[in-house]
Amino acid sequence: MGGLKTLDDWLIYQQNLHTKEIDLGLSRIQKVYQKLFPNGVDFKVITVAGTNGKGSTIAFIASIYQQANIKIGAFTSPHIEQYNERFYINGKMAKDAQICSAFAQIERVRGAISLTYFEFSTLAALLIFASENIQIAALEIGLGGRLDSVNVVDSDAAVITSIDIDHAEFLGSNREAIGIEKAGIMRAGKPCVCGDTKPPKTIQQVAQKIGAKLTFVNQPYLGKISLQGKQQRQNAALAIAAIKLLPDFVITQKQISAGIKNAQLAGRFQSKNINGKTLILDVAHNPAAIEALANTLQKKPQPTLAIFSALKDKDIAQMIDNIAPLIDEWLLLPIESQRAISMPDLSKKFGLSAKIKICENMPVALHQALHNSQVQRIVIFGSFYVVADALKVVKSNLIKP
C-alpha cells in the first residue's frame, strides 16, 4: 500500500486487481461490507435501479433534500470527466483525500478478497458518506439490481426507473427477465416506487412474493424543470414519489418545486453554443435512451450532424435506427475502452445511404463539425466516453469559439 499515494494510483491498482471488469454477485462485497459496517450503515438509504434515468432521478432527489437542508450523499456511475463525480455530499464532490482514505480503509480489511473496481467505489461511497455524517444516501445501481454490489445495503426505499433491454448477456434478453433483476433491490415490508409506464409483470410478481410495498408512478411532473426532455418529467415525478416514501424527513411543496427546478446533471441533453452552432451532449447509450433523445431533437427540426461511437456489446444497429431520420451526417470516432467497437465494424452498422466519415479523435471530429456550413446542430452521443471526450476538448479551449 506504500506506493498508493494518489487517486490515480489507487484506480490503476483496482483496475488490475480483479480479473473481470464486470463480475456480478454479492459474496465478495458482503464479506468486506460486514467488516466495515458490522451493524449496517447509520443513515437512511434510497436505492435506484433501472435501464435509463437513474442519474437524473438521483439528481432530482438530491436537489430536493438540499432545498430542505437535509444532508444527502449521492453515489452515481459512471463518471463523465473525473472519478470524484461519483460521490456528492450536499452537491459538492468528494475530494481526492477523502476517496483515498476510504480506499485505504477497504484495503486494510479486505484481506485476500478480490474486489472489482465498482465494488471498491460502492464501499468507498458508504465510508465517505458515513464520515460526513449524512442523513440520507441515494445510491445508483451500476448494472441490473439483484446481484449489483450496491444491493449489499438493505435500503429503506427502492426506486425503479425505466426498464428496457440493455446488458442482455448479464440481465436477460427480454423485459420480463430484466424486471426480475431490477426488482431484486426491493425488500420485504419496505416501499418501492416504479416509474416505468408499461412495467413488466415480473416487477409486481417479485413484490408480492417478498411482501414489498410497490406503487407505480404514471403521471409526469408538470411544474418548472431544469433538465430537458419528456422523460425528465417522468424522472422528476418518480423522485418526488421516492422522497415521500421516507416520512422521517419533513419536506414542503415549495422545497420540492425548488429542488426540481434547480437540479443539474452533466451530459443529459446538455446544450452549448460554439461558432454559432448548437452542441447537444447526451450520454444516451442504448436504444431506449437514444429514442428519448430523438424525441427531444424532433421538437426543433434543423440540419443536424452526429458525433457518435459506442461499445461493441450494445445493440448499435437499433441505436442508429432510432435516430437516423434526424441525422444528416455522421462523424464516427474510436473510444478508449476494451469494450469499444472498431471503426470498420461500426461503419458496417450503417445503411448505404448514410453519410458517414471516420475521424481520428474528438478534437478532429469537433473541428470538422464546427466548420461544416451545412449543419446548425451537432449532437454528441452514444456513450459516456464520447461525451467525456467532447467536454474535455471544449473545456481545454482546443476549439476556439
Same domain, 166 and 296: no
Lowest mean pLDDT among 38-47, 142-151, 290-299, 391-400: 391-400
Compute the Cα dihedral for 261, 265, 267, 271 and give only its sign.
positive
Q: What is the pLDDT of residues 20-71, one digit of tens each?
A: 776 777 999 999 999 999 999 999 999 999 989 999 999 999 999 999 999 9
In the chain, how many domains are there? Answer: 2
Amino acid 398: pLDDT: 59
Same domain, 350 and 386: yes
Same domain, 144 and 113: yes
Contact between 312 and 334 (Cβ < 8 Å): no
Lowest mean pLDDT among 22-36, 85-99, 214-228: 22-36
Q: Indicate the residue among 262, 283, 316 that finishes a domain.
A: 262
Which H or E run contains 28? helix 27-36
Q: Is residue 2 part of a domain?
A: no
- Write the burial class of residue 257 (CB in 10 Å: 0-12 exposed, 13-18 middle, 19+ buried): middle
Amino acid 118: pLDDT: 94
Contact between 239 and 136 (Cβ < 8 Å): no
Q: What is the pLDDT of residues 320-332, one digit of tens each?
A: 999 999 999 999 9
Amino acid 207: pLDDT: 96
What does the CA dihedral 19, 21, 26, 27 come to, rounded to 10 degrees?
Answer: 0
Same domain, 101 and 173: yes
Within 13 Å, how many C-alpha atoms sit on residue 291's CB side?
10
Same domain, 303 and 187: no
Which H or E run contains 362? helix 362-370
Assign residue 13 a region (left: φ > 0; alpha: ψ between -120 and 50; beta: otherwise): alpha
Contact between 289 and 52 (Cβ < 8 Å): yes
| Paired strand residues for 358 | 332
Number of neighbours of residue 345 by Cβ within 10 angstroms: 11
Compute the Cα dihedral for 230, 171, 76, 69 and give only its sign.
positive
Residues making up the chain, counted from first to last? 401
Give the span between the Cα atoms of 308 and 328, in whole angstroms.
Answer: 13
Within 13 Å, how many C-alpha atoms sit on residue 380's CB side?
28
Model confidence at 345: pLDDT above 60? yes
Q: Is residue 1 part of a domain?
A: no
Query: Cell numbers 460486514 label which residue?
Result: 34
SS3 call for 399: coil
Q: Is residue 324 part of a domain?
A: yes
Amino acid 134: pLDDT: 98
Tell me the percentage of the chain whose pLDDT exceeds 90: 82
Give the span between the Cα atoms of 232 and 185, in whole angstroms.
Answer: 22
Same domain, 112 and 78: yes
Contact between 331 and 365 (Cβ < 8 Å): yes
- The pLDDT confidence band at residue 215, using thresholds 50, 70 and 90, is very high
Q: Indicate the residue among 210, 231, 262 that finishes a domain.
A: 262
Amino acid 248: pLDDT: 87
- The pLDDT confidence band at residue 235, using thresholds 50, 70 and 90, is very high
Q: Which residue has the higher pLDDT, 190 or 143?
A: 190
Same domain, 254 and 354: no
- The pLDDT confidence band at residue 401, using thresholds 50, 70 and 90, is very low
Model confidence at 125: pLDDT above 80? yes
Same domain, 225 and 256: yes
Model confidence at 166: pLDDT above 80? no
Can you tell me the mean pLDDT for 233-256? 95
Strands of the 136-140 sheet, one edge to the other: 92-93, 87-89, 72-75, 136-140, 44-49, 157-160, 191-194, 213-216
Q: Is residue 39 part of a domain?
A: yes
Model confidence at 1: pLDDT above 60? no
Assign residue 377 a region (left: φ > 0; alpha: ψ between -120 and 50; beta: otherwise): beta
CATH number at residue 327: 3.90.190.20
Amino acid 237: pLDDT: 97
**Domain residues for 327?**
270-395
| Paired strand residues for 274 | 277
DSSP 224: -
Q: Is residue 400 part of a domain?
A: no
Can you tell me the mean pLDDT for 171-175? 69
Contact between 104 and 1 (Cβ < 8 Å): yes
Q: What is the pLDDT of residues 278-312, one digit of tens each?
A: 999 999 999 999 999 999 999 999 999 999 999 99
Give the range with max mean pLDDT: 100-109, 330-339, 346-355, 388-397.
100-109
Q: What is the CA radius of gyration of the chain?
A: 21
Compute the Cα dihedral for 69, 75, 81, 83 and give only its sign.
positive
All three cell numbers of 320, joined, read: 442508429
CATH number at residue 210: 3.40.1190.10
Q: Indicate the residue among 216, 237, 262 that finishes a domain.
A: 262
Q: Is residue 248 part of a domain?
A: yes
Same domain, 203 and 303: no
Amino acid 173: pLDDT: 65
Give the range with max mean pLDDT: 69-73, 173-177, 271-275.
69-73
Same domain, 213 and 181: yes
Residue type at 14 in one-letter notation:
Q
Amino acid 399: pLDDT: 59
Q: Is residue 349 part of a domain?
A: yes
Same domain, 145 and 244: yes
Tell me the percentage of the chain whose pLDDT exceeds 70: 95
- The pLDDT confidence band at residue 144, using thresholds 50, 70 and 90, is confident
Residue type at 352 in one-letter notation:
L
| Paired strand residues for 332 | 308, 358
Give the span between the Cα atoms of 211 and 290, in whole angstroms.
Answer: 35
Same domain, 342 and 388: yes
Give the span between the Cα atoms of 12 and 30, in whole angstroms.
Answer: 23
Compute the Cα dihedral for 316, 344, 393, 366 and give only its sign.
negative
Amino acid 24: pLDDT: 73
Residue type at 83 in one-letter notation:
Y
Q: Is residue 326 part of a domain?
A: yes
Give the span between the Cα atoms of 333 and 310, in whole angstroms.
Answer: 9
